[in-house]
Amino acid sequence: MNEELVVNGGFTNISVHNFSEKLLEQLVHFHVMKLDGGFFLWVGSAPVLSNMAVSMSSRHDSTPLSTLMMGDPSDTTASSLAQRLAKRTKKQVFVSYSLPATDSTLGLLVEQRIGKELQLHPEVF
């Protein structure tokens, strides 16, 4: 599902793209908000905003900068995912990852599903 929102008299476009996938018997929802120069990605199974990180490229290092904006600092899932997506897309990336970080297999499947969506619909990121 895609929607587009025009803000400030047409100066800023925010497009929204949602998709879902059943991964390891759990329905996982993905919500992408495309922003000017970047995007926000929410991943979860229930409408909760928990860990949130931001990452962006740096002219001083080949590895994008990344920081946790809110949530449990011992859970690096959102920061790591934001960093890998920023490196792949060359954009500023905000990630909210609201799934338990206890299952590394689920995390891998989530990242593969995001990669598939990036290939199928690069225009929404």
Residue 3's contacts (CB-CB under 8 Å, 6 or more residues apart) are: 15, 16
- Interatomic CA distance for residues 39 and 125, integer angstroms: 6
Half-sphere exposure of 107 (CA within 13 A, CB side): 15
Domains parsed from the chain with CATH numbers = 2-124 (3.30.230.100)
On the question of pLDDT at 1 being above 70, the answer is no
The predicted structure's pLDDT at residue 65: 96
The predicted-structure confidence for 11-69, as pLDDT tens digits, reads as follows 567 899 999 999 999 999 999 999 989 999 999 999 999 899 999 998 888 899 999 99
Tokens at residue 122, please? Answer: 């690069």
